[in-house]
């Protein structure tokens, strides 16, 4: 498992950089395809016990114990799916072969970092892999070396450095308090009730620092300053990765993992509910006022991450399972929307929604998949986003916060409003002047779009089966 | 409250560290800024050494003060930034920066003094279960092998980033020469 998810992508990057550039250029895309498809299929088709006992020489060399879980499986599949889509979009957007090659390498390195985050069972190991994800993301954002790209990367570097300081300080304090950084030991230390009053206060301070660091990484309001600039100024192929999975793996998934397995959040948390609501509201209102397609999607991400946070804050089965399910669903439909943004940008030369319009006749597949994605984001049945939001709302209601649940439902209508506005301005209505010659994107943008749209639809339709076979086992997290 | 000679040297080093960090932030010349950062690392190494962790001090000194400074200076020599002295009073700018950046180190110093005064209330890391502390080699190689591998990957990503982000500039510069 570790061989496949960590060592092989790394070795592929090293080998590709040693090969003659022409051959490496040609191979990098197909290597990435093979790795993402094999990773995804492996997780979906093998039992979790084979993660422990299968052929895995690197695991022995690194002396790294892994703990299989359904939560990890959800993340591995999401990572594979988003990286798969980003490979296609990179191939579609970058005309320069050299740029394509660099992008593919960075995708693989970022994938190694994200897989490492999911495997981690130790706070320091987690920190190391979070930094790998952050460093590869900086480079991806600044890849085109435009002024906006460098500014976006700089903001990300700056806020990420603050997050690093918070997380490292927290790790040091937890180590002082518990004498270990292993998840299991830290959880036992924090929840056993054996700490005296001073040490308990110290531990609480450490947990707050860690959560604040993860809030920055996850782009949760009011720590979201870097996110809209980074998403909108990065090359769109990199935005697919950032918007689709990076903030979720580095921020939200880690928060869910630590809240459940380390910090032991077993009571409804007003802090998480409050920050979640703030993110939902600020993200939704800000998205409504945007005219840049990618920036609108960035604010929409902030809003959707808010739903995941309130689900986690409810600390009951419905809420947490809904939050995990929404991590996956949001990865799928947000990636799809960014793939569509890439198609629109490449074909029309702009992402300014005021200069677009009527594209659905010229780009029917992009237009249709975009409708599916935004309906799913807004939580319209029977698409996948509806079910995860339903579980989250039920969880929040059950946790004794009906007001939060009602506001979350109302703000979901805001999601529908800003996406309808986007759809009308970009795809519906009269064709904008100067776009008469525009054509549908080629297969490199359509393949990931169709795959993601099918997943959005199918997951929604098979939800009852999914609930019984896959989502209910997630209950064991609590 | 008595202060041992060790504590006294730690305080002196911390004060010098804070001053050199301030200098790094306030310097208008990027090269001086990098040197200020290196100096900060040197004083931090002394603090770590005095706190009883010589190996960590050596790492801090060699990697942060040494290696990273070399990387910074190489990068600065590559980009040759222009000075910012034209048309603006340097003294005025320094004062402005001092106002802007002084509160944070001051706050940290106050927090540090408060922690030091109340240090008896701080938790002390519990001893290892078998009673015998692990050697550095055991920690790095047996306990933290995956972290070492992770840091190697991190360095690879960093090198990749420098090559990717500076290569075009170097190519342009080469063709211009």
Minimum mean pLDDT among A259-268, A359-368, B97-106: which range? B97-106
Is B87 in the A-facing interface, judged by CB distances under 8 Å? Answer: no
Residue A86's pLDDT band (cuts 50, 70, 90): very high
What is the percentage of chain B residues whose pLDDT exceeds 70? 71
Return the bridge partners of A182, or none.
A122
**Which fold does the domain B1-122 belong to in CATH?**
1.20.120
A contact set with B (CB within 8 A): 10, 13, 61-64, 102, 105-106, 109, 112-113, 116, 124-125, 128-129, 131-132, 135-136, 138-139, 142-143, 145, 175-179, 195, 198-199, 202
Is B108 in the A-facing interface, judged by CB distances under 8 Å? Answer: no
* Cα–Cα distances in angstroms (integers) from residue B136 to residues A175, A265, B151, in the given order: 17, 34, 17
Asked if pLDDT for residue B7 goes beyond 80, the answer is yes
Minimum mean pLDDT among A368-382, A438-452, B153-167: which range? B153-167
Which of the given ranges, A121-130, B68-77, B141-150, has the highest pLDDT on average? A121-130
Residue A389 and residue A322 in contact, taking contact as beta carbons nearer than 8 Å: yes
Between B123, B156, B158, which is nearest A176 by CB? B123
CB contact under 8 A, A106 and B123: no
Asked if pLDDT for residue B87 goes beyond 60, the answer is no
- More confident position, B93 or A107: A107
Instruction: Give the number of other Cβ atoms within 10 Å of residue A223's Cβ.
Output: 21
For A402-440, letters b (16+ CB in 10 Å) and e give eebbebbeebbebbbebbebbbebbbbeeebeebeebeb
Q: What's the pLDDT score for residue A196?
A: 82
Asked if pLDDT for residue B28 goes beyond 80, the answer is no
Q: What's the pLDDT score for residue A129?
A: 94
DSSP letter for each residue of A391-424: HHHHHHHHTT-HHHHHHHHHHHHHHHHHHHHHHH
Asked if pLDDT for residue A460 goes beyond 60, the answer is yes
CB contact under 8 A, B149 and A62: yes
Return the bridge partners of A292, or none.
A352
Residues 21-50 of B with CB under 8 A from A: none
Mean pLDDT of B109-117: 75
Task: Name the average pLDDT for chain B.
Answer: 76
- More confident position, A189 or A47: A189
Asked if pLDDT for residue A144 goes beyond 60, the answer is yes
Give me the long-range contacts of A174-179 (CB less than 8 A, separation at least 24): A174/A123, A174/A203, A174/A206, A174/A207, A174/A210, A175/B125, A176/A202, A176/B122, A176/B123, A176/B124, A176/B125, A177/A202, A177/A203, A177/A206, A177/B123, A178/A203, A178/B126, A179/B125, A179/B126, A179/B127, A179/B128
Residue pLDDT, tens place only, A200-214: 888 899 999 999 999
Asked if pLDDT for residue A21 goes beyond 70, the answer is yes
CB contact under 8 A, A145 and B168: yes
Asked if pLDDT for residue A379 goes beyond 60, the answer is yes
CB neighbours of A241 closer than 8 A, spacing ≥ 6?
A82, A83, A86, A107, A110, A137, A140
CB contact under 8 A, B125 and A176: yes
Instruction: Give the number of other Cβ atoms within 10 Å of residue A98's Cβ.
Output: 13
Is B62 in the A-facing interface, judged by CB distances under 8 Å? Answer: no
Asked if pLDDT for residue A477 goes beyond 60, the answer is no
Q: What's the pTM value of the predicted model, to 2 decimals?
A: 0.87
Mean pLDDT of A352-358: 89
What is the percentage of chain A residues whose pLDDT exceeds 70? 98
Q: How far is CA A326 from the centre of its chain?
A: 10
Distance CA B100, CA A92 (A): 46
Which of the given ranges, A147-156, A262-271, A273-282, B30-39, has the highest pLDDT on average? A273-282
User: Nearest 5°: phi and psi at A234?
Assistant: -70, 155
Question: CA of B151: which chain A residue's CA is closest?
Answer: A128
Residue A61's pLDDT band (cuts 50, 70, 90): confident
Return the bridge partners of A352, or none.
A292
Distance CA A172, CA A209 (A): 11
Q: What's the pLDDT score for residue B127?
A: 62
Give residue A40's region: left, alpha or beta (phi > 0; psi -120 to 50): alpha
Helices (H), A46-69: 48-53, 57-62
What is the percentage of chain A residues whose pLDDT exceeds 90? 59
Q: What's the pLDDT score for residue A241?
A: 95
CB neighbours of A335 closer than 8 A, spacing ≥ 6?
A81, A82, A85, A86, A240, A243, A244, A245, A448, A452
Between B123, B157, B160, which is nearest A199 by CB? B123
Minimal CA separation from B12 to chain A, in Å: 23
Residue A13 and residue A136 in contact, taking contact as beta carbons nearer than 8 Å: no
Is B98 in the A-facing interface, judged by CB distances under 8 Å? Answer: no
Q: What's the pLDDT score for residue A328?
A: 94
Q: What's the pLDDT score for residue A327?
A: 94
Q: What's the pLDDT score for residue B164?
A: 82
Task: Name the average pLDDT for chain A.
Answer: 90
Q: What's the pLDDT score for residue A101?
A: 93
Q: Report which of B65, B37, B80 is spatially closest to residue B166, judged by C-alpha positions.
A: B80
Asked if pLDDT for residue A261 goes beyond 90, the answer is no
Instruction: Give the number of other Cβ atoms within 10 Å of residue A332's Cβ.
Output: 26
Asked if pLDDT for residue B170 goes beyond 70, the answer is no
Residue A471's pLDDT band (cuts 50, 70, 90): low
Asked if pLDDT for residue B59 goes beyond 90, the answer is no
Residue A121 and residue A183 in contact, taking contact as beta carbons nearer than 8 Å: yes
For the record, the structure tokens of B162 come out as: 């420098």
Mean pLDDT of A379-407: 92
Give residue A136's region: left, alpha or beta (phi > 0; psi -120 to 50): alpha
Asked if pLDDT for residue B82 goes beyond 60, the answer is no
Which residues of chain B make contact with A57, given a CB cutoff of 8 A? none
Minimum mean pLDDT among A133-137, A204-208, B171-175: which range? B171-175
Question: CA of A149: which chain B residue's CA is closest?
Answer: B165
Size of the A and B interface in Cβ pairs below 8 Å: 74
Asked if pLDDT for residue B171 goes beyond 70, the answer is no
Domain boundaries, chain B: 1-122, 134-177
Q: Report which of A321, A318, A205, A208 is spatially closest to residue A272, judged by C-alpha positions.
A: A208
Residue A260's pLDDT band (cuts 50, 70, 90): confident
Q: What's the pLDDT score for residue B69?
A: 78
Minimal CA separation from B51 to chain A, in Å: 15
């Amino acid at each position: 498992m570790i061989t496949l998810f960590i060592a092989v992508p790394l070795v592929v990057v090293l080998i590709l950089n040693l090969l003659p550039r022409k051959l490496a250029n040609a191979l990098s895309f197909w290597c990435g395809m093979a790795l993402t498809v094999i990773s995804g299929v492996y997780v979906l088709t093998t039992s979790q016990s084979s993660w422990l006992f299968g052929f895995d020489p690197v695991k022995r060399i690194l002396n790294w114990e892994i703990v299989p879980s359904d939560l990890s499986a959800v993340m591995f599949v999401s990572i594979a799916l988003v990286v798969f889509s980003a490979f296609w979009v990179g191939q579609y957007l970058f005309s320069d072969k050299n740029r394509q090659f660099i992008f593919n390498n960075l995708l693989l390195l970022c994938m190694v970092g994200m897989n490492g985050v999911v495997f981690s069972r130790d706070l320091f190991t987690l920190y190391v892999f979070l930094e790998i994800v952050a460093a590869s993301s900086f480079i991806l954002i600044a890849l085109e070396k435009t002024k906006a790209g460098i500014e976006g990367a700089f903001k990300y570097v700056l806020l990420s450095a603050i997050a690093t300081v918070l997380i490292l300080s927290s790790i040091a304090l937890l180590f002082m308090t518990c004498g270990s950084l292993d998840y299991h030991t830290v959880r036992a230390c924090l929840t056993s009730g054996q700490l005296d009053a001073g040490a308990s206060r110290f531990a609480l301070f450490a947990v707050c620092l860690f959560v604040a660091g993860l809030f920055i990484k996850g782009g949760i309001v009011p720590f979201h300053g870097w996110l809209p600039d980074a998403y909108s100024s990065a090359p769109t192929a990199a935005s697919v990765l950032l918007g689709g999975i990076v903030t979720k793996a580095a921020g939200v998934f880690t928060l869910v993992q630590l809240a459940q397995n380390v910090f032991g959040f077993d009571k409804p948390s007003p802090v998480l509910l409050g920050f979640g609501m703030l993110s939902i509201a600020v993200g939704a209102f800000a998205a409504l006022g945007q005219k840049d397609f990618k920036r609108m999607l960035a604010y929409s991400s902030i809003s959707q991450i808010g739903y995941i946070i309130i689900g986690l804050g409810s600390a009951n089965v419905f809420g947490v399972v809904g939050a995990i399910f929404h991590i996956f669903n949001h990865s799928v439909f947000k990636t799809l929307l960014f793939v569509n943004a890439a198609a629109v940008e490449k074909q029309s030369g702009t992402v300014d929604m005021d200069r677009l319009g009527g594209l659905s006749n010229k780009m029917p597949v992009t237009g249709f998949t975009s409708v599916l994605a935004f309906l799913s984001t807004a939580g319209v049945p029977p698409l996948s986003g509806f079910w995860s939001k339903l579980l989250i709302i039920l969880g929040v209601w059950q946790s004794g916060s009906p007001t939060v649940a009602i506001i979350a439902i109302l703000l979901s209508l805001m999601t529908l409003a800003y996406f309808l506005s986007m759809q009308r301005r970009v795809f519906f209505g009269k064709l904008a002047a100067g776009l008469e010659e525009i054509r549908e994107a080629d297969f490199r943008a359509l393949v990931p779009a169709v795959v993601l749209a099918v997943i959005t639809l199918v997951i929604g339709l098979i939800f009852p089966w999914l609930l019984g076979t896959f989502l209910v086992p997630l209950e064991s997290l609590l | 409250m008595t202060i041992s000679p060790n504590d006294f040297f730690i305080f002196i080093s911390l004060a010098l560290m804070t001053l050199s960090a301030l200098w790094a932030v306030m310097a208008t010349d990027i090269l001086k800024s990098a040197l200020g950062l290196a100096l900060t690392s040197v004083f931090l190494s002394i603090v770590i050494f005095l706190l009883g962790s010589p190996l960590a001090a050596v790492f801090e000194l060699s990697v942060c003060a040494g290696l990273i400074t070399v990387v910074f200076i190489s990068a600065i020599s590559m980009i040759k930034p222009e000075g910012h002295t034209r048309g603006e009073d340097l003294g005025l700018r320094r004062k402005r920066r001092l106002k802007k950046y002084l509160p944070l180190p001051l706050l940290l110093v106050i927090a540090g003094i408060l922690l030091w005064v109340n240090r008896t209330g701080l938790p002390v890391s519990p001893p290892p279960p078998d009673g015998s502390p692990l050697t550095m080699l055991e920690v790095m190689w047996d306990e933290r092998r995956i972290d070492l591998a992770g840091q190697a990957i991190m360095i690879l990503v960093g090198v990749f980033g420098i090559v990717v982000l500076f290569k075009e500039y170097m190519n342009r510069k080469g063709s211009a020469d």
